[in-house]
Amino acid sequence: MTLFRTAFRPARRLGAPLATAAATLAGAALLWAGPAAAQDRSPAERQTLVDLAYAIGESHGLRQTCNGPTDQFWRDRMVQLSDTEVPDADFDARLKQAFNSGFATRQSQFPTCTLESRKAELAVARKGEALAQKLATSTRVVKRMGPDDPALKEDDPVSVETPSKPR
């Protein structure tokens, strides 16, 4: 994933509200990482993923502004998103473009660590949290309900679960 590099800036300590929001966003981002792959998502969900990738890119740019270019916290979360969603090549390119655009926008907007950049980081974390929650609460149609699903074949060991013995 290509990222724009900046000069190292000394690390500064996150305030309690910002750290809480960042942790919440990270946790929420992992919550939506359910069993559905990107290609199984609706167009609206795919757009929400693109919006989330942009927000993660913004968070990455803002965090690096204060912590320096070696901080890869949000880039690593973006890699997890891509690994979880397993997007097709075109959608993967859209996600990476959104991430990189968010990163570049915030790096150019806040070239130095200031109170304003910290406030922006908190606002982006809240936006990302809302997007992640939106994805986490989306309703899915379950294609296979279990062993009594008529689509399952009894002689297919992959599609029929064997009940486990009580312990």
Cα–Cα distance for residue pair 140/136, rounded to 1 Å: 10
Angle at 91 between CA 108 and CA 82, to 5 degrees: 75
How many secondary structure helices (H) and strands (E) does the chain include?
5, 0
Q: Give the relative orientation of helices 16-31 and 43-67 as an angle to the nearest 10 degrees.
A: 150
Residues spanned by the domain of 126: 16-136
For the chain, what is the domain count? 1
Confidence at residue 16, expressed as pLDDT on a 0 to 100 scale: 47
Q: Where do the DSSP E strands lie in the chain? A: none
Q: Does 4 reside within a domain? A: no
- Spans in the chain with pLDDT lower than 50: 1-14, 16-17, 19-20, 23, 28-35, 157-165, 167
Confidence at residue 148, expressed as pLDDT on a 0 to 100 scale: 61
Q: Does 159 reside within a domain? A: no
pLDDT tens across 133-155, in order?
998 887 555 555 566 655 555 55
